[in-house]
């Protein structure tokens, strides 16, 4: 190590990486490294418990690598019967490290982008990724600016009454400020804003200028946000919480996604939704979008999420390098005219009102309690 550092003087980091960071020899080696290389940042690991993290930091490490056996090509847990759930290890070790102004790297266990988000959420300062990057070429991407402005669209189509500002994450300050500007510039329009899943942000959006708030993060049948980002909220719970907040300010909510059958539509209205947004139930019909495909004598239609690679390529030209797809593209059996499906949904709503004694959908707000 002395020879390497002398040959490459611009090195700033030294990583001492062993399978078992609990040996006395390893700890003593970290001490020696710190004494001989005082200006370098020393990384040491791997470990999975708070006590050893504290010992390594006090011995001389700056950053501790956390993880025993979580890697996709690691067999330590099977071969040695030793390991620790990665998120639990990350949380415990991060608490210990941050108490001493140290840092941790969550090393392994990320099989999808959601796992990366969970690692950071568990307190990791850095996340080490292997399997997710395996098999890829190094490639960049191009960020493409969206064409047109809202002002130009409204001027070109003066009969428009509604403006829908639809983003995946309605919690950003930039989004809230944009809603404020839209309300100021278009006072006569009905403004829809989303998506969110909690009452506080619903109130903020309504007070900022929105008339209707879209509720739902990750419930859609072709949405993969919960898997990719590890973020979401059970749709009925989100609808109930957001509806309570909105109705207290004379606002409205749209329950967006999660309806796989007419009963789900009934539950959304029962949870307080003023409107229900449906995608998957209408997919595959003549009136729905998507390309018709014939396979083995049968007809199918494409159905894709608006955050899928298909949608981003179609509407924006490409997928930006800095983000991942949070939707999927699937084929749905061709289902003909949509009228039969609409009648099926309406029939389900009527039956739900009958079961709960509701004369109209607004009264069916008690439905979740009845089902419980």
Q: Which residues pair with 45 in a beta bridge?
A: 17, 65
Compare 321 and 25 and report the one with higher pLDDT: 25
> Residue 337: exposed, middle, or buried by beta-carbon count in 10 A (0-12, 13-18, 19+)?
exposed
pLDDT confidence bin for 318, thresholds 50/70/90:
very low
Residue recorded with tokens 């109705």: 247
Band (179; pLDDT cuts 50, 70, 90): very high
With CA atoms as reference, report the closest residue to 284 among 329, 336, 221. 336
111 is catalytic: no
Residue 300 pLDDT level (bands cut at 50, 70, 90): confident
**93-107, 110-124, 128-142: least confidently modelled range:** 128-142
* Lowest pLDDT segment from 177-181, 236-240, 277-281: 277-281
| Active-site pick, 74, 93, 110, 223 | 223
What pLDDT is attached to residue 258?
Answer: 86
d(CA 92, CA 141): 36
Is pLDDT above 60 for 302? Answer: yes
Q: What is the pLDDT of residues 54-103, one digit of tens each?
A: 999 999 999 999 998 776 566 666 666 667 888 889 999 999 999 999 99
Return the pLDDT at 1.
77
Which residues touch 280 (CB under 8 Å, ≥6 apart)? 220, 221, 222, 259, 260, 303
Q: Which of 59, 208, 224, 225 is catalytic?
A: 225
Winning range, highest mean pLDDT, from 125-134, 232-241, 331-340: 232-241
pLDDT of 371 > 60? The answer is no
For residue 110, indicate whether it is catalytic: no
DSSP 336: B
The pLDDT, as a whole number, for residue 74 is 65
pLDDT digits (tens, 9 = 90+) for 278-292: 988 888 888 877 778
Given a cut of 90, whether residue 254 has pLDDT beyond it is yes
Mean pLDDT of 206-211: 96
Residue that wins the pLDDT comparison between 218 and 342: 342
What percent of the chain lies above the pLDDT cut of 90? 42
Task: Locate 220 and state its tokens.
Answer: 């859609």
CA–CA dist 178, 165 (Å, integer): 9
* Domains of the chain, each with CATH number or no CATH: 1-128 (3.20.20.70), 148-361 (3.20.20.70)
Average pLDDT, the chain: 82
Residue bearing the bigger pLDDT, 43 or 292:
43
pLDDT of 96 reads 94
Task: Provide the pLDDT for residue 336.
Answer: 86
HEC readout, 43-107: EEEEECCHHHHHHHHHHCCCEEEECCCCCCCCCHHHHHCCCCCHHHHHHHHHHHHHCCCCEEEEE
The pLDDT value given to residue 144: 26
């Amino acid at each position: 190590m002395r020879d390497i550092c002398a040959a490459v003087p611009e090195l700033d980091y030294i990583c001492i990486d062993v399978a078992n960071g609990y040996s006395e020899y390893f700890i003593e080696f970290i001490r020696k490294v710190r004494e001989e290389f005082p200006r370098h940042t020393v990384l040491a690991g791997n470990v999975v418990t708070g006590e050893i993290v504290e010992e390594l930091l006090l011995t001389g490490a700056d950053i501790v690598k956390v993880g025993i056996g979580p890697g996709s090509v690691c067999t330590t847990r099977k071969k040695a019967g030793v390991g620790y759930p990665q998120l639990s290890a990350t949380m415990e070790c991060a608490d210990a490290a941050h108490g001493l102004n140290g840092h941790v790297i969550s090393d392994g266990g990320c099989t999808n982008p959601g796992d990366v988000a969970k690692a950071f959420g568990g307190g990791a300062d850095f996340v080490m990724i292997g399997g997710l990057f395996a098999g890829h070429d190094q490639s960049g991407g191009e960020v493409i600016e969206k064409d047109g402005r809202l002002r130009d669209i409204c001027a070109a189509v003066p009969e428009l009454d509604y403006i829908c500002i639809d983003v995946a994450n309605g919690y950003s300050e930039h989004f809230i400020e944009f809603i404020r500007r839209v309300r100021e510039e278009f006072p006569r329009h009905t403004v829809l804003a989303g998506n969110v899943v909690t009452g506080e942000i619903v109130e903020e959006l309504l007070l900022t200028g929105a008339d209707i708030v879209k509720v739902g993060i990750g419930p859609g049948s072709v949405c993969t946000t919960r898997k990719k980002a590890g973020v979401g909220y059970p749709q009925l719970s989100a609808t109930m919480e957001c509806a309570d907040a909105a109705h207290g300010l004379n606002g409205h909510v749209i329950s967006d996604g999660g309806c796989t059958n007419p009963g789900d539509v009934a539950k959304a209205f029962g949870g307080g939704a003023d409107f229900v947004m449906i995608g998957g139930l209408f997919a595959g019909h003549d009136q729905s979008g998507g390309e018709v495909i014939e396979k083995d004598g049968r007809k199918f239609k494409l159905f894709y999420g608006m955050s899928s690679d298909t949608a981003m390529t179609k509407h924006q030209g490409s997928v930006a390098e800095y983000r991942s797809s949070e939707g999927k593209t699937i084929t749905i059996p061709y289902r003909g005219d949509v009228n039969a499906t609409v009648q099926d949904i309406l029939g389900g709503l009527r039956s739900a009102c009958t079961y709960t004694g509701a004369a109209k959908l607004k009264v069916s707000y008690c439905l979740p309690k009845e089902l419980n």
